[in-house]
Amino acid sequence: MAERDREYVEFVEATSASLRRTAFLVCGDRHRADDIVQDALYKLYLSWPKVQRVANPFAYVRRMVVNAAYDGGRRPWRREVSIAELPDRVDRHDFVSGHAERDEVLDALRGLAPRQRACVVLRYYEDLSVEQTAEILGCSAGTVKSQAARGLDTLRQAIDKTRRTSRAQ
């Protein structure tokens, strides 16, 4: 049992940052991304011996994370309700703070439909192939191509609009 736990902890330490980034980019909310990854890692632990036999455990858990982030967007009644109050302290290690261009992209990503957002994140941020993305999302390669193309077009338009607005002010 101790060996199983050690291998699981090593896997989590090696993959959790990447899983968190992917969840954040797909769902658009840092706290929800943390919850999604935590839930996925809990489920992974319960089935860890079986998952270890899978050829690529990271791909397996990444699919769990993307599905949970994507599914949450389609089922809003499963989400927690956000409140308008700010926390007492600011997380200085926030990986998006201080990057105006990244903020523009993240804002634009939030404006995408859930499937488009998942396609764009997996294809261009995670650098997965069309086939790998289709497998994770459970759709055809053609759907990935069209959703990614539409998503990129929407991103370009949103960023152009934001930049035109900021120049006009």
Kindly state whether residue 103 falls inside one of the protein's structural domains. Answer: yes
Mean pLDDT of 138-159: 91
Give the pLDDT confidence score for residue 77 in this predicted structure. 43
- Burial code (b: 16+ CB inside 10 Å, e: under 16) for 125-159 equals ebebebebbbebbeeeeebbeebbebbbebbeebe
105 and 55 both lie in a single domain: no
Let me know if residue 89 belongs to a domain: no
Which pTM value belongs to this model? 0.59
What value does the mean pLDDT take over residues 68-79? 59
Instruction: Give the pLDDT of residue 84.
Output: 66
Q: Does 85 fall in a domain?
A: no
Domain of 42, in residue numbers: 1-77
Q: Which CATH number is 1's domain given?
A: 1.10.1740
**pLDDT value at 99 more than 70:** no
Comparing CA positions, the residue from 44, 20, 52, 4 lying closest to residue 125 is: 20
Question: Interhelix angle for 57-74 vs 130-137, to 10°?
Answer: 60
Residues 61 and 113 in one domain: no
* Distance between CA atoms of residues 159 and 52, nearest Å: 42
